[in-house]
Amino acid sequence: MSGVFRIISVAGAHSGVGKTTLCSLLLRELRDYGAIKFTKEAFGTPLIDSEEIILQKGKDTAIMVSSGAKKVILIGGQGETLRDALERAIGMMRPFRGVIIEGNGPIEFLRPDLLIFVIGPDRKIKAPAMGILERADIVVVNSEGGERDTSLMDRLRTGARIFFVDLKNKGQETEALLSCIKEAIV
């Protein structure tokens, strides 16, 4: 993998499904990776890398830093503003082995090396997220409490590898997921 820059995108069915938790797991496992967090919120600038903001206690960006991200950037906005901010942010990550991008918005402009889609314990998927799910390489069904209801995946007919993982308790299936991701990015 030396010399090859990888982009891993983590998108999800809706907010609160476990995207940040999965990104944290990945950042602990993959060395020399940066992270980009997308938010729909518009702020004064579409790209923020100020430590004062990135390191705010309890924020997803601070979780990414504490999980081992070499650099974390927060981007927000829509349309061309988002595209430009995303291109700049990825450019800032080039000194590293790769970047993990969290959020659905960037998928419109991005062709990641690996697209991971997270479905929450409620198994609900917002309509706009269905197109992202169809492109996913890996689907992670956050199975808090051990729930392994496969009927949802049978109905979706996705060609992606599917993992039922309790993201909070990191059970046995977590190791299989991490192995699959490492193999996919080599």
DSSP class of residue 84 equals: H
* pLDDT at position 2: 47
**Any idea which fold 6-185 has?**
Rossmann fold (3.40.50)
* pLDDT at position 83: 87
Which residues touch 33 (CB under 8 Å, ≥6 apart)? 8, 26, 27, 68, 69, 70, 96, 97, 98, 99, 100
DSSP class of residue 168 equals: T
Number of H helices, E strands in the chain: 7, 8
Q: Is 72 helix (H, G, I), strand (E, B) or coil?
A: strand
Note the Cα 132 to chain centre separation in Å. Answer: 12
pLDDT band at 44 (very low <50, low <70, confident <90, very high): low
Whether the model pTM is above 0.95: no
Residue range 171-185: average pLDDT? 91
